[in-house]
Amino acid sequence: MSLGGIALATDFALLIVAAAVLSYAARLTKQPTIVAYVLTGVVVGPIGLGIVAEDQLIEIVAELGLGFLLFLLGIEMRFDDIREIMRPVGAIALGQAVLQAIASTGVALLLGFTLYQSLMIALATTFGATPIIVKVLGDKDDLKELYGKVDVGILIFQDIYLVMALAILSVGAVDNVGEIAFSIGRVLLLMGVIGVVAYLASNYLLPALLRASAANKSTLFTVGIAWAFLFIFAAESLDLSIEIGAFLAGLALAQLPYSTELKERMRPATNFFIAIFFASIALQMEVDQLLAYWQEAIAAAFLLIVINFFIVFGLFYSQRFDIETSFLGTISMLQVSEFSLVLGALAVDQGFIDEGILGFLSLMALITMPISTYYVIYNRQIYAFVRPYLERLEREDTVEAQPVEYADHAVIIGYSRLSSELAAVLEDDVDEIVFVEDRAEYVGELMNAEHGFIFGNARHGDIRQEANLSGAEVLVSVAQRADVNLRLVEDSPDTLSIVTATTEDEAAVLLENGADYVVLERGIVGDELANLLETIDDREAFERRLEELNARARDRSQRADETLDLGREDIHYDAGDGGESSGSCRSDDADTTGGDTDV
Amino acid sequence: MYEILFALTLIFVLAAVLLLVAAQKGLSVIPFYLLAGALAGAAIDETQLLDLAQWGIAFLVFLFGIHVDVEAFRSTGRISVTVGLLQASIVGALTFGLGLAFGLDPLNAGYLGIAAALSSSLVATSYLDDESGAQPTYERLAESIHFTEDLLGVLAVLGLSAFVYTAAPAWEQIAVGGGLFALALGIRYLLFHRLTARLQGDPEVMMLLGISFVVGFIALAEAADLSIVVGAFAAGIAIADDYPHSLELVDTVDDLEDFFSPIFFVTLGALLTIPTLETIGYTFTLVVAVLLLNPLLVAFILLRSGFDGRTAILTGLTLDQVSIFSLFIALEAFAADQIAPPVFDAIVLAAAVTMIVATYTGRHAGDINRWLRERGLIRLLGEPLGDRTQVAEELEDHVIIVDFEHGGRQVLDACSVLDRPTLVVEDNPVLFEAIRDECDNYVYGDVSNERVWELARLEDAALVVSLTPEHDRAETVVDLEADVPRVVRVDSTETADEFLARGVAGVIYPDTIAAERVGEDLEALLEGDISREEFVERGRSHFETPADD
C-alpha cells in the first residue's frame, strides 16, 4: 500500500469509523458520546475484536486531545458567570470533594482494595461528569435554571481540583517523603510561574492580540491554538503535565470577551481528539484487566450513587437551596466522571496504579454514566415522585434564583447601519439590547457602547444561548448567511424577528419558517427608486427627494430624529390608521425563564 | 512526544504570527506558511509531520468536495468546461513541451505541465468569499472554471496513482475510482439525509460522521491502491452542503481545516531545498505561464464566446495561481520518490509567488481591467458587442439602468407604469432571457466600454441609475463624461461623500433606506399604531416572493 508513500494509518481510521458508528447509536439512545468512545476502545481493541492496536498517531492525537480538553476547561472558567452564587457553590464543591473522598475511600477499603489503591480511587471518583450534565441540561434548556447554574458552578470548582490532582500525579512515583515534598513544591512553584505569566498575558498582551486576530476567520483559531501549544510545550519542557499548561493557557483567555467564540471554534478539534483519547483507554487493556474487579465495580457504583446522593443533597440543603433545586442539582452530579478516566490513565502511565484499577474505574464509568443520563433526563418526573417524602424539609428563606443573563431584551446579530438604527428605535422598548458580532472592526465600538455585546458568530449554538435568543423579545439579524438567519428564526419562534435576505427565494424561505419581517434590500431599493422616478418630470420634487437620499447616506450619526418625518408621502402603503392598539411586540407567551422554578 | 510537540508548537506559533501579518495586509496566507516551513525546516524533522500533513491534504480536498456547488455549475457549466479544458490543455501542452526541451523526462515535464495548467480554487474562493450580496457574473464563471480544473486535478491524481506510482499500471483502478464517485453520489442523494435526520443536529456526532466519511472513503481508495486525494474528494461529494447540515456538519469540519492546513503547508515548505539555477528556471517558466498565459488565454476564449471585456478579464484574473492540487500531486510524487527535486521545488516556489501576486491582482482586478481597456488590449482580443443588444431607433429621454438584479427590475416596472422609456445595461448572461422578455431596450456589455454607452444613447438619456454593488463598475458610471444626472448605489458613507464630490446627482445607500423603512414600521408597531399582523404585512409589501404557493 505504498501510494506515493502516503498511506493513512489504518488503525487510526478504523478507530474513527468505529467511534462514529457507536456514537451514532449512542445518540439514538440519548446516551452521552463519551460512553460510546470508551466502548469503541473496548470493541475494537484487544478486549473485543482485536483489530486496532495503539499506534504512535493514536497516542499523539489522544495526548493532544487531553491537552485541548483542559484548554477548553480553562476557557470555560468564567468567574463572572457564577459570581452571585460563588459562596454557596464553593462550599458545596469543597464539602463534596472532602466528604466524597472519605466515602469513596471507605467503600473501596470495604471492597478489599489496599489503602493506597483506595486513596487513588477516591482521588479519581469525586467529579461530576461534565459531558452528561452540560449536555443533557443544555438539551433540556435547564442550564439557565438555578440548579443548572449551581451544577455548572460546582463543575468549575472541580476543574481546579482536577488540576491539583494532575499536578500531584505529574510528580511521578517517588520513594521518600522528602523527595515527594520537594517534587510537589517544585511543581507548585512552576505552576505558579506559568500562572503568573498567563495572568500577566491575560491583562496586557492577549486583549490586543486577540483583537488583532479577530479580523479573519482562521486567525482567532490559529492564535488560540498557538497560545495553547506554547503553554503545552512549556509545561512539557519543564517536566510538568501538559494538561496543566493547557489549562492555564485557557484560563488566561477565559475572562476576555472573545472566549466563547474561541471555545466554539476549538470545540470540533477537541471533540475529535478527545474521542480518540477515550477510545484509546481501552486499547491498552486486556480483558482480564478490564474485568479484574467487575463485582467490586458494580457494588461500588451503586453504593457510591446512594451515599453521594445524601452527601450532595445535604450540602445543597445546608446552603439554603430549596428542596427542588437541591434534589435536581444533586441527582445530576451522581456518576463517575470522564475525569476519573483521565486521572486513572495518567496514574497508570506514571506507575501509581496497575491497569486493573483503570479497568475498575472504566467499568464504573460505563455503569454509572448511561444510568445517570436517564435520571438526569427524567429528573423532574423523579422529583415529582419523591416530592411527598421530601416535603417536610420545605422551609422559607431559600436562595433566590438569579435572573438569566439577558431578559426582556432584543438580540441584534451583526452590526450595520440598518441594525444600529433599528437598535435606536428599540432602545426605549426593551430593557437591554445585545449585539452579536464577530468582525473585528466593530469590536471597539460595540464594547464601548452602552448595549450588551457578545463577540462571536451566531452560527454557534453557545453564542445563541449566551444571548438568550430563545427568550428574546425582538431579533434583528443582518447576518449575511441565509442558513444562519434561518437557524436564528427557527430558534426563536415567539420572538418578533426582523431578518435580512439577499434574494427573493431566501426571503420566501425565511417567511415560511416564521420570520415576521424580511428585509430584502434590493426590493426596498427598487421601491425607493420607483418613488423617485415618479417625480422625475417635476425637477424640484425630484431634486428634493434626491437631496434627502443623499443626506441620509452621508449622515454619520445614529438615526436622527428629524428623519422620522422624511418622505412620509412617498411611501406606498398606508401609514397605519391606528385602529388597533393591541399590537405590542411583548407577546405574553414569551417564556424567558422556563417558568417552573418555584422560588 | 517532545519532538512532535516542539514541531507543532513551532508550526502554530509561526502560523499565528504570519496569519496576523497576512490579515493586516489582506494577503493570502499560504505563501507565508510555505515560507514559514522553509524557515522551520532547519529546526524540525518534517518526516514526523508527514502523517499529520496527509491529514491536511485529506481535509482540504474533502472540504473542497463538500463545497462543490453542483447547481451553480449547471448554470454556467458548458462554457466553463470548454474554457477550462481549452486553457488547461493548451498551457499544459506548451509547458510540457518546454519541460522536454529543458531536458526533463516525460514524467517530470508532465508535473510541470500540470502545475502550469491548473488553477487553485482554494485560494480563489477564499478571496471571492469576501464579496457580499449576490455573485457577479465573473465570480460565477470563475467558480465553475475552477471546478472544472479541480476535476482535472482529481483526474490527474487518479491517473498518476493508477499508472505511475504502482508497479503494474492498471485500468481497473480507474474503474474503481469511478465506482467511488458513484457510491458518493448515491450516498449524497439516497442515504445522507436519512442518516443525519435522526441525529437532530448533534454537532459532535455529525462531525465524527463527517470525519468517518473521509476516513472510510480514503480507506476504500487505499484498498484499491488509489491516492487518498481521490477518496477524500469522493467523501466530500457524499456530503450535502445544505441547511441545516451547512451549520452543523460543514462548519465544524471547516474549523478542523484550520488545524490541519497550517500543518500541510508548513510541512510542504519544510521539504524545500536551497534553489539551484535549474529550479529558478523552472519556477520562472511556471510563473510566466500561470501569471500571464492563463489569464490572457481565458480572457481570449471568453471574449470569443461572447462575454464582455470586463467579465472576461476579471474571470481570467482569478486563474493566475498554481492549484492546490498541483501541490498535492507534488507532495505525493515526492513521497513516492517520483519527482526530480528541482521540479518539486519549482512547483512549490511558483505556488508561493503566484499566490502572492494573485491576491494583488484579485484586489485590483477592476483597475487592471480599465488599464487594459485603455491600452486597447481588450479590443485587440476581440470583444464582441451589439449581438445581444436591442435599442429602439427613436429612443430618448430614457432611464438607463445598470444592473438588472439589484433592484433594476422594480425600477423597470415603475417606469412602465409611468410610460417612461428605459434601457438596461447588463453583463450577466444568466439574466439574458429574463431581460429579453421584460425590456424593450437593452445593451449587453461592459460599462467601462465607451461603445456600450454610445449604443445606450447616453447623450439623450434623462437619467442613469447604477445599482451594481461592484465598486469598479459603479465608479465607471460616476466618471461618465456626459451631462446626464446619475444616481449610484454606494455601500458606505465614505463612498457616498466621494461619489457626490465626483459629481453624481444622488446616491442610493441601501442600508440607510432599509433602516428608514423598517425603522418606521417598527416604530409604528412599538407605539401601537399598527398590529403585529400589519407589521408582517408591511414587511411583505417590499417584494414579491416567487411562487407564493
In a shared domain, residues B71 and B197: yes
How far from A262 is each of A246, A257, A463, B515, CA to CA, in Å? 14, 10, 11, 32
In a shared domain, residues B313 and B423: no
Residue B349 has pLDDT above 50, yes or no: yes
Q: How many CB atoms lie within 10 A of CB B264?
A: 27
* Owner of C-alpha cell 482580443: B381
Residue B34: strand, helix, or coil? helix
Query: Could you tell me how many residues make up chain A?
Result: 599
CATH code of B354's domain: 1.20.1530.20
First to last CA, chain A: 66
B515 lies within 8 A of chain A by CB: yes
The reply to whether A510 falls in a domain is yes
In a shared domain, residues A251 and A153: yes
What is the tally of structural domains in chain B? 2
In a shared domain, residues B429 and B343: no
Q: Cβ contact (<8 Å) for A57 and B534?
A: no
Q: Which three cell numbers stand for residue A152?
A: 455548572
Q: Which of B1, B321, B62 shows the shortest CA–CA distance to B184?
A: B62
**Residue among A3, A523, A575 minimizing CB distance to B542:** A523
CA torsion, ordered B169, B173, B177, B178, to nearest 10 deg: 110
CATH code of B419's domain: 3.40.50.720
In a shared domain, residues A143 and A282: yes
In a shared domain, residues A336 and A361: yes
In a shared domain, residues A274 and A416: no
In a shared domain, residues A377 and A496: no
Helix ranges (H only) for B102-136 are 106-117, 121-128
Average per-residue pLDDT for chain A: 80
pLDDT value of residue A584: 35
The reply to whether A568 falls in a domain is no
- Provide, as residue numbers in chain B, all residues whose Cβ is less than 8 Å from the Cβ of A417: 509, 511-512, 515
The answer to whether B246 touches A483, Cβ cutoff 8 Å, is yes
In a shared domain, residues B98 and B204: yes
CATH code of A425's domain: 3.40.50.720
In a shared domain, residues B202 and B77: yes
Residue A1 has pLDDT above 60, yes or no: no
In a shared domain, residues B433 and B351: no
The reply to whether B420 falls in a domain is yes
Q: Which residue of B has its CA nearest to A586?
A: B526
What is the distance between the alpha carbons of residues A379 and A328, in angstroms, rounded to a whole number?
A: 6
pLDDT in tens, A335-358: 888 888 888 888 888 888 888 888
pLDDT value of residue A563: 37
Averaged pLDDT for residues B360-380:
81
- Provide, as residue numbers in chain A, all residues whose Cβ is less than 8 Å from the Cβ of B532: 496, 516, 583-585, 587
The answer to whether A358 touches A348, Cβ cutoff 8 Å, is yes
pLDDT in tens, A461-491: 888 888 888 888 899 998 888 888 888 988 8
pLDDT in tens, B210-269: 888 888 888 888 887 788 888 888 888 888 777 777 677 777 777 777 888 888 888 888
In a shared domain, residues B223 and B256: yes
Q: What is the DSSP string of A205-230?
A: IHHHHHHHHTTSHHHHHHHHHHHHHH
Q: Which three cell numbers stand for residue B466?
A: 447604477
User: Last residue of a domain, which of A542, A557, A572?
Assistant: A557
Q: Which of B361, B328, B287, B284 shows the shortest CA–CA distance to B116?
A: B287
pLDDT value of residue B168: 65
Q: What percent of chain A has pLDDT over 90?
A: 10
In a shared domain, residues A414 and A531: yes
Helix ranges (H only) for B432-470 are 432-438, 450-455
pLDDT value of residue B80: 81
The answer to whether A450 touches A226, Cβ cutoff 8 Å, is no
Q: Specify the amino acid at residue A132.
A: I
pLDDT value of residue A587: 35
The reply to whether B31 falls in a domain is no
Most confident of A97-106, B302-311, B432-441: A97-106
Averaged pLDDT for residues B364-380:
81
pLDDT in tens, A559-598: 443 333 333 333 333 333 333 333 333 333 333 333 333 3
Q: How many CB atoms lie within 10 A of CB B482?
A: 12
Averaged pLDDT for residues B317-340:
85
What is the distance between the alpha carbons of residues B95 and B116, in angstroms, rounded to a whole number?
A: 7
pLDDT value of residue A475: 92
User: Last residue of a domain, which of A349, A365, A393?
Assistant: A393
User: Last residue of a domain, which of B339, B356, B379?
Assistant: B379
The answer to whether B423 touches B435, Cβ cutoff 8 Å, is no
Residue B447 buriedness (CB in 10 A; 0-12 / 13-18 / 19+): buried
First to last CA, chain B: 62
Q: Cβ contact (<8 Å) for B508 and A553?
A: yes
In a shared domain, residues B393 and B375: no
pLDDT in tens, B465-520: 888 888 888 888 888 888 888 999 988 888 888 998 888 888 888 888 888 888 88
In a shared domain, residues B365 and B469: no
pLDDT value of residue A310: 92
pLDDT in tens, A364-422: 888 888 888 888 888 899 999 988 888 887 777 777 666 556 778 899 998 888 888 88
In a shared domain, residues A211 and A89: yes
Element holding A436 (H helix, E strand):
strand A432-437
Q: Cβ contact (<8 Å) for B505 and A546?
A: yes
Residue A279 has pLDDT above 80, yes or no: yes
A19 lies within 8 A of chain B by CB: yes
Q: Which domain holds residue B418?
A: 389-508
pLDDT value of residue A529: 84
Q: Cβ contact (<8 Å) for B399 and A533?
A: yes
Q: Cβ contact (<8 Å) for A425 and B523?
A: yes
User: Last residue of a domain, which of B344, B379, B414?
Assistant: B379
Helix ranges (H only) for B164-201 are 171-186, 192-197
- Provide, as residue numbers in chain B, all residues whose Cβ is less than 8 Å from the Cβ of A424: 519
Quickly state the pLDDT bin for B166 (edges 50, 70, 90): low
In a shared domain, residues B156 and B201: yes
CATH code of A137's domain: 1.20.1530.20
Q: Specify the amino acid at residue B6.
A: F
In a shared domain, residues A117 and A228: yes
Average per-residue pLDDT for chain B: 82
The CA-CA-CA angle for residues B340, B15, B320, to 5°, reads 55
Residue B545: strand, helix, or coil? coil
Averaged pLDDT for residues A543-566:
66
User: Last residue of a domain, which of A393, A425, A457?
Assistant: A393
In a shared domain, residues B152 and B282: yes
Averaged pLDDT for residues A41-59:
84
pLDDT value of residue B69: 64
**Residue among B20, B489, B534 minimizing CB distance to A212:** B20
pLDDT value of residue B132: 41
* List of residues 6+ apart from B115 with CB closer than 8 A: B95, B286, B290, B322, B323, B326, B329, B330, B346, B347, B350, B351
The answer to whether B450 touches B425, Cβ cutoff 8 Å, is no
The answer to whether B270 touches B345, Cβ cutoff 8 Å, is no
Q: Which domain holds residue A442?
A: 409-557
Residue A599 has pLDDT above 60, yes or no: no
pLDDT in tens, A282-296: 888 888 888 888 888
- Range in B238-252, B267-281, B342-356, B406-420 with the lowest mean pLDDT: B238-252
In a shared domain, residues A110 and A176: yes
Residue B374 has pLDDT above 60, yes or no: yes
- Provide, as residue numbers in chain A, all residues whose Cβ is less than 8 Å from the Cβ of B215: 8, 12-13, 16-17
In a shared domain, residues B243 and B330: yes
What is the distance between the alpha carbons of residues A242 and A239, in angstroms, rounded to a whole number?
A: 8
The reply to whether A581 falls in a domain is no
pLDDT value of residue B164: 74
The reply to whether A530 falls in a domain is yes
The reply to whether B340 falls in a domain is yes
Helix axes A259-281, A56-76, angle to 10 degrees: 140
A393 lies within 8 A of chain B by CB: no
Residue A32 has pLDDT above 90, yes or no: no
- Provide, as residue numbers in chain B, all residues whose Cβ is less than 8 Å from the Cβ of A461: 203
The answer to whether B499 touches B479, Cβ cutoff 8 Å, is no
User: Last residue of a domain, which of B317, B349, B379?
Assistant: B379
The reply to whether A131 falls in a domain is yes
The reply to whether A576 falls in a domain is no
pLDDT value of residue B20: 86
Q: Cβ contact (<8 Å) for A27 and B198?
A: yes
Backbone angles phi, psi at B424, to 5 degrees: -105, 130
CA torsion, ordered A21, A23, A26, A32, to nearest 10 deg: 170
In a shared domain, residues A418 and A544: yes
Q: Which of B526, B271, B126 shows the shortest CA–CA distance to A423?
A: B526
The answer to whether B217 touches B235, Cβ cutoff 8 Å, is yes
Q: Which of B171, B191, B294, B293 shows the shortest CA–CA distance to B237?
A: B191
The reply to whether B493 falls in a domain is yes
Of A555 and A115, the structure prediction assigns the larger pLDDT to: A115
pLDDT value of residue B100: 92
The reply to whether A377 falls in a domain is yes
The reply to whether B419 falls in a domain is yes
What is the tally of structural domains in chain A? 2
What is the distance between the alpha carbons of residues B505 and B514, in angstroms, rounded to a whole number?
A: 20
What is the distance between the alpha carbons of residues B239 and A155, in angstroms, rounded to a whole number?
A: 37
Most confident of A309-313, B160-164, B206-210, B447-451: A309-313
Q: What is the DSSP string of A43-95?
A: HHSTTTT------HHHHHHHHHHHHHHHHHHHHH--GGGGGGGHHHHHHHHHH
The CA-CA-CA angle for residues B69, B73, B76, to 5°, reads 150
pLDDT value of residue A313: 92
**Residue among A26, A226, A429 minimizing CB distance to B526:** A429
The reply to whether B133 falls in a domain is yes
Distance from CA of A570 to the nearest CA of B (A): 11
In a shared domain, residues A115 and A30: yes
Q: Cβ contact (<8 Å) for A529 and B410?
A: yes
The reply to whether A567 falls in a domain is no
Q: Specify the amino acid at residue B441.
A: N
Residue B96 has pLDDT above 90, yes or no: yes
What is the distance between the alpha carbons of residues A497 and A515, in angstroms, rounded to a whole number?
A: 5
**Residue among A236, A526, A566 minimizing CB distance to B407:** A526
Q: Cβ contact (<8 Å) for A13 and B414?
A: no
pLDDT in tens, A491-507: 888 889 999 888 888 88
In a shared domain, residues A357 and A437: no
Radius of gyration of chain B (CA): 26
